[in-house]
Amino acid sequence: MDTELLTGFSEDSLECLEGIEQELLALEEGRNSDETINKIFRVMHSIKGSSGFFGLQAIEKISHHGEELLSKMRDKAVPLDTTNIDVLLNTVDQVKLMFGDSNWGEGFDNGALLDALDQCIHQQYGETNDAIVNTHFDKEINSSARLAQESHHNLIIENLPEQIKIPDTKQQPIAVETNKTLSAPKNIKNEPSTIRISVNVLDQLLELIGEVVLGRNQLVSQLEGDRTFNGLSTSITKLHRHVIQTRMQSIGSVLEKFKRIVRDLSKQLGKEIKLHIEGGDIELDRTILEAFSDPLTHLVRNACDHGIELPSERSKNGKNPCGNLYLRTYHQSGQIIIEVEDDGKGIDPVKIKESAIKKQVLSEKEANSLTDKELVELVFHPGFSTKEETTSISGRGVGMDVVKTNFEKLGCVFDVSSKSGAGTLFQARMPLTQAIVDSSVISGLIISLGKHKLAIPQLAVNEMIRLVPQERSKSINNIKGRDILTLRDTLIPIIRLEDTLNTPRIYIDPITGEVCPERRQSLTDRRKNTLITAFETGQRIIADRRIKSEIFIILQYKQDHFCIPVHKVVGTEEIVVKKVPKLIKYRKVFDGTTILGNGEIVTILNINGIVEEAALDFQQARSHKNLQQIANQVEPDETQKLVVFENAENEFFAIPVQLISQVQKVMVSDLKQAGSREFIEMHGESQEVIRPENKVNLSPIKDESSKRIVIIPNIEDPIGMLGRKVIDTIEIDEEKISGRAQEEGVVGRLFYKDKLISILDIFSMLGILQKDVSSIEVDPTIEKSRILLVEDMLFFRHLIQSYFESFGFRNITVARNGKEALDILNQMSGGFDLIVSDVEMPEMNGYEFVSMVKSDPNYKNLPVLALTGLAGQENIKKGLEAGFDAYEVKIDKFNVIQQVIKLLTAQILG
Amino acid sequence: MQYATFMLNEYMFGIPIFLVQEFSKPLPVSSIIGHDERVAGLLNIRGKISVVIDLERCLGLKSDDTVLTENPKNHEKRMIILETQDTLTTEAKKLGVEGYSEPLVLLVDSIRKVITIETQNYYPPPAHIKEKYVDGVVKHNNVLLTILSINSLTKDLSREWGSQNITEN
């Protein structure tokens, strides 16, 4: 026998069987019964035929019976009820098993199944007849009739009604024949648009293309600028992307199988469970998907077994006896979210507490100090189960802790939330960046630490800072031997990679450049006395001159940060991730290895691994954060930090630090012109830049030096601004920003240490590039409208106020936060036509504020416009849900004023 | 069977010639941060990332403490690039030669000649030799040399670090 042919047949059949399982389940739900039955029938039929051809008698026999039952179903001789579908599902399972058997299922005991099939085949229709099936039945008549008509078997049409009223088995074969001839041609060939490729081939392809990319990278330095090479290089990039694509599968393929699992479980448990699959079109690499499958199965089984109650119990509690189980997948802010939610009995914190104490997981005192949420999270504690006795379904010794660990291994954040009596939600959030697999290409930041080079996935890098000795002594502190970096009022733990990896710290002598073991215990060591003096007298900390500037890479771990000091930043490079060899120690800390363009091999750092290895506990840190928030509220920040830049000699401009996302050094020669616009390449993408002197009244840079800086503002789709150099960061009292300049692009001017500094209004500067607002005209009737402006930062208060005023709005009242605004509202009841509010504010934020306003009957109809720096769909959604009438981003002046006019027109003129 | 012989410090060792893919002059090795000194680093051999094992250190024969890249004597050293289990010939597998699953490179002091050993000259390690990575001892021209067991060496290295290793899927 031709084995290759046989293997092909077996693989084909298994795949088809996989498919009809879903179809059968669909049938049971009463969907598409007509076409679906035909489809299932065809599969069974072809399996029967082919297995006969190959001489696989056992399979032939069982599929023959299956086919017969299906044909009766199709002809409405037997009903489409659960019993029959059950038998068919079992048949499918059995045939699948037989295909997996080395002996093609010869010698399997199929007696019981065959009996069951026979019984189904020979049952009289009336036996299980009921109303529902009957309606189905009537529907089918018409379609059968139509089918027959198409094939010009008029005789059968006439006969059909008869056939239905009095089921007559003699006529069945005719009907079967008709349909068979109809459906047979469709069955001959598989879809021509797809072919089957073994996963091994794909893996090899990926590995090979990875090597091609590596080779290309090594050639870049020699051949850069060569046109042929550039073309080839682009093709290679495309090719790589396509190869990656071939390994992607939609997550739906994993979720589909739960239909069957849930169906079987609910029957087994005597529960009614409806499974809702939402999303599922997210694509992930095969290996990652496979890794998701197990923990998800566990969650689903758990939800069916422990979560959803028995129908009787549900009815007693006033719930629909049929329980719901939701499987959801979707994208949210750069993360893939996977949720398993049930509307079952939820996790009872009281029960958990009792159980935890009983199992001595916690002492009674400890347990009492926990919040409900923390109690619920105890389900992740190893060896914890609240179900009185373990069952065959979910009590199999693997606890939720394993599920959590599995998800975390995939780089997910895994959470549970539950409401006793209402249901449980498990959520896994996976950052897209985590989906790094073998041979994928990522952008890596190459750094060096002593003689070692390391790569850090660019996406994990939050920012890099270089501390000059002066700045350094202020920013680095030491608590109990741990170094801490203070950056913009947050404390960031400093992790020494050398410590984490148990190697001597490396110190590079700043003068000789010699690499030697570090003798300092901490980064602050040599300044202990200086620190004490500073602490007690408030004197300025004097810089330690022996140290050169140091570079810190701030890394993002989930929503927290930590930083590592490095000796040098070598640059960024597109790197191909390769496996970490097994013989490498500390594999956790490394995500992979890669070969750089110069042939050097470097290891790629794994952020999760470092956090784990260094035993960082951000959870604990977070629980203390509230304290700091309270502290922030006590001292509202009335000072403004500005970064001062020099443009032309002795001409300075400043931008609030919050508005800057990064400042990067560039060369004038790198600027490229496109018409009147200028662009520069940053991180592999083109970035538009403008020169401030072209937008506001500043002198152009006369300096012949070729070095410039690009300031990238912290807004969406930013446009960079060129400057000559950064001078300083200054902190000024907001009130000092003198008079609102009546000048486009400048918020105000101030003197600082005898220097005149113009504070730029980047919004209007960049706004100029967008749309011309001068075309907007304001109806004089709404010019008198009274606007309440709520904004915490004085800077923006001035900015927005003056902007509105420029359109003729004079009645503007300002408040610094939600609370103040409410007070004003209450004092001047009915005094406003529109509220314009920021979202992020101290004391009371915009969401809280707007929901307070909207819940007050007096202001229910008062329009509230959210004006914020936070764009993004979720923010907008959240804002609109909270009660804002509209949502605009501060930068978008054109839309802002249009929206204001729109809201006011509606409000005043009705 | 044929063995490739080499010197470590002043001792002579051998491994089955089937395991040897090629001999090479020392190539530049990329060191790994925080790594055990028994592994000298990583080497790019035709696109495959290979682990370089410093045999002297593994066997505790190293007399001086200088690291590989800084030792002036290094240019005299040699590298033995090994076959992996996948690239071994069927003949080698039949003879019971086992390779490692990933590319490995051995760092040795010098390469000596390839010798043929008859089975009767192959002895189990004498009782007082406590060396862990010895497969056996062979006699050639009345000189005894040690046959290294790469298998037990790699097993040992990965077991020792096993606690830090992520589970293999």
Q: Please name the residue that has the structure tokens 């930062």.
A: A793
Contact in structure between A408 and A429 (CB atoms under 8 Å): no
Count of helix runs (H) and strand runs (E) in chain A: 31, 36
Instruction: For strands A834-837 and A864-868, give the pairing.
Output: parallel
Amino acid at site A776: I
Contact in structure between A730 and A780 (CB atoms under 8 Å): no
CA distance A449 to chain B (A): 8
User: Residue A743 pLDDT > 50, yes or no?
Assistant: yes
pLDDT at A891: 62
What ipTM is given for this predicted complex? 0.80
Nearest Cβ partner for A452 among B31, B39, B168: B31
pTM of structure = 0.50
User: Residue B48 pLDDT > 70, yes or no?
Assistant: yes
Separation CA A327–CA A276 (nearest Å): 6
pLDDT at A619: 61
Nearest Cβ partner for A584 among B32, B47, B168: B32
Q: Is B157 on the interface with A (CB under 8 A)?
A: yes
Q: Please name the residue that has the structure tokens 């501390």.
A: A467
Contact in structure between B147 and B137 (CB atoms under 8 Å): yes
Buried b (16+ CB within 10 A) or exposed e, A773-801: beeeebeeebeebbbbbbbbbbbbbbbbb
- Two tokens, residue A36: 């679906």
A503 vs B contacts (CB less than 8 Å): 33-35
Q: Which comes out higher in pLDDT, residue A19 or A743?
A: A19
pLDDT at B74: 57
B33 vs A contacts (CB less than 8 Å): 449-450, 452, 454, 497-498, 501, 503, 603
Nearest Cβ partner for B35 among A214, A585, A602: A585
B53 vs A contacts (CB less than 8 Å): 583
Instruction: For strands A452-457 and A601-605, give the pairing.
Output: parallel
CB pair distance less than 8 Å for A587 and B165: yes
A579 vs B contacts (CB less than 8 Å): 49
- pLDDT bucket at A634, cuts 50 / 70 / 90: very low
pLDDT at A141: 41
- pLDDT bucket at A186, cuts 50 / 70 / 90: very low
Contact in structure between A781 and A909 (CB atoms under 8 Å): yes
pLDDT in tens, A521-543: 566 555 555 666 666 666 555 54
pLDDT at A558: 67
User: Residue A392 pLDDT > 60, yes or no?
Assistant: no
pLDDT at A460: 80
- Which of A203, A601, A604, A613 is best to mutate for the B interface (most B CBs within 10 A)? A601
Helix (H) or strand (E) holding A482: strand A482-487
CB pair distance less than 8 Å for B33 and A593: no
The one-character DSSP state at A556 is E
pLDDT at B135: 81
Burial of A250 (0-12, 13-18, 19+ CB in 10 A): middle
Q: Is B95 on the interface with A (CB under 8 A)?
A: no
Separation CA A30–CA A119 (nearest Å): 23
pLDDT at B165: 40
Separation CA A384–CA A397 (nearest Å): 10
User: Residue A691 pLDDT > 80, yes or no?
Assistant: yes
Sheet holding A568-576, edge to edge: A568-576, A441-449, A452-457, A601-605, A590-595
pLDDT at A716: 61
User: Residue A481 pLDDT > 80, yes or no?
Assistant: no
Q: Which of A811, A791, A802 is nearest to A741 (CA)?
A: A802
pLDDT in tens, A305-329: 878 888 888 888 888 888 888 888 8
- pLDDT bucket at A706, cuts 50 / 70 / 90: confident
pLDDT at A140: 42
pLDDT in tens, A138-179: 444 444 444 444 444 333 333 333 333 334 444 334 333 334
Query: Average pLDDT over chain B, rounded to whole?
Result: 77
CA distance A708 to chain B (A): 36
pLDDT in tens, A562-602: 888 888 888 887 777 777 887 776 667 787 888 877 778 88
Cβ-proximal residues to A810 (8 Å cutoff; 6+ apart), any chain = A783, A784
CB pair distance less than 8 Å for A601 and B49: yes
CB pair distance less than 8 Å for B69 and A603: no
Phi-psi region of A383 (alpha: psi -120 to 50; beta: other; left: phi over 0): left
Nearest Cβ partner for A502 among B30, B34, B47: B34
Separation CA A864–CA A850 (nearest Å): 7
Q: Is B151 on the interface with A (CB under 8 A)?
A: no
Nearest Cβ partner for A603 among B32, B36, B157: B32
Q: Is B50 on the interface with A (CB under 8 A)?
A: yes
Minimum Cα–Cα distance from B161: chain A residue:
A585
Question: DSSP assignment of A621-647, as one string?
Answer: HHHTHHHHHHHHHHS---EEEEEEEE-
- pLDDT bucket at B163, cuts 50 / 70 / 90: very low
- Which of A203, A575, A582 is best to mutate for the B interface (most B CBs within 10 A)? A582
Contact in structure between A484 and A478 (CB atoms under 8 Å): yes
User: Residue A234 pLDDT > 60, yes or no?
Assistant: yes
CA distance B46 to chain A (A): 9
CB pair distance less than 8 Å for B169 and A584: no
Q: How far is residue A294 from each of residues A330, A407, A409, A534, A710, measured CA to CA in Å? A: 19, 10, 13, 57, 48
pLDDT at B168: 36
- pLDDT bucket at A647, cuts 50 / 70 / 90: confident
Mean pLDDT of A673-678: 81
Beta bridge partners of A331: A336
pLDDT in tens, A355-381: 777 777 777 777 777 777 777 777 777
Contact in structure between A476 and A492 (CB atoms under 8 Å): no
Cβ-proximal residues to A424 (8 Å cutoff; 6+ apart), any chain = A303, A307, A341, A342, A344, A346, A347, A416, A417, A418
User: Residue B61 pLDDT > 80, yes or no?
Assistant: no
A502 vs B contacts (CB less than 8 Å): 34
Q: Which of A643, A653, A652, A640 is nearest to A795 (CA)?
A: A640
pLDDT at A152: 41
CB pair distance less than 8 Å for A583 and B47: no
- pLDDT bucket at A439, cuts 50 / 70 / 90: low
pLDDT at A170: 40
pLDDT at A641: 75
User: Residue A473 pLDDT > 60, yes or no?
Assistant: yes
- Two tokens, residue B104: 């490995």
Separation CA A285–CA A256 (nearest Å): 17
Nearest Cβ partner for A585 among B41, B50, B161: B161
Query: Average pLDDT over chain A, rounded to whole?
Result: 73
CB pair distance less than 8 Å for A498 and B158: no
User: Residue A517 pLDDT > 70, yes or no?
Assistant: no
Mean pLDDT of A40-50: 80
Contact in structure between A578 and A572 (CB atoms under 8 Å): no
- Which of B31, B32, B51, B54 is best to mutate for the A interface (most A CBs within 10 A)? B32
CA distance B20 to chain A (A): 19
Mean pLDDT of A3-21: 77
CA distance A403 to chain B (A): 15
Mean pLDDT of B62-84: 66
pLDDT in tens, A803-843: 787 777 878 888 888 888 888 888 876 678 888 888 877 77
CA distance B51 to chain A (A): 7
CB pair distance less than 8 Å for A451 and B35: no
